[in-house]
Amino acid sequence: MKFAVIVFPGSNCDRDMYHAAKDVLKADADLVWYENSNLENYDGVLLPGGFSYGDYLRSGAVASTSNVMQQIKAHAEKGKPILGVCNGFQILLEAGLLPGAMLRNKNLAFMCHQEPLVVANNQTQFTTGYEKGEIVRFPIAHGEGNYFCDEQTLADLKANDQIVFTYENNPNGSVADIAGITNKQSNVLGMMPHPERAVEELLGSDDGLRLFQSVVKNWRESYAVNR
């Protein structure tokens, strides 16, 4: 499986994401500069965290209008896995690939620490390596991670089982304790906590490794069936 790690001006977690995919997961991965991107030969797309375009306008707003997003949308329509973490999640929201929006944290402060999460849905291609209801620990590092949506959208997320991770102790005010959601087809996952920073025990947790392993395992099984 080959991953594209998209790099925007202001990305600062791209090397972490690349390390998780290439060095720890032992998958094929490339750092792909957004302007020179050709995603045709990639099986999955990873949108890392950071401050794309300095978070001008709104976090992720400028990056969401870049040409590479059209290719990412095409990948999503084909059912290929797309993972957006932190700023990557914000970009997916701004691009309309996921519903909802991000607000400032309820305490109006940047937060950076490990956070316990609940695996709310272990039936996506990102989460089959977990048990439903399992508590995992991923770091958070954001100032605008307060997920918001209207009541109808929240009802739809619950009805379609699109809520994948929730906070055990909601740190930022996110509606319904939401930490990560998918699209209806469950191949696009956006989450504020950083699984790529939790792939080795040296980092304080290796709970994030199973997320990447799940993606590769499910891709291989799908590839074998569709050959």
> Hey, which residues are catalytic here?
86, 194, 196
Instruction: Give strand pairing partners of 29.
Output: 3
Helix (H/G/I), strand (E/B), else coil: 49: coil
- Long-range Cβ pairs for the range 110-113 (8 Å, 24+): 110/141, 110/142, 110/143, 111/140, 111/141, 111/142, 111/143, 111/145, 111/171, 111/172, 112/139, 112/140, 112/141, 113/139, 113/140
Q: What is the C-alpha separation between 44 and 90, in angstroms, rounded?
A: 18
Neighbour tally for 74: CB within 10 Å: 12
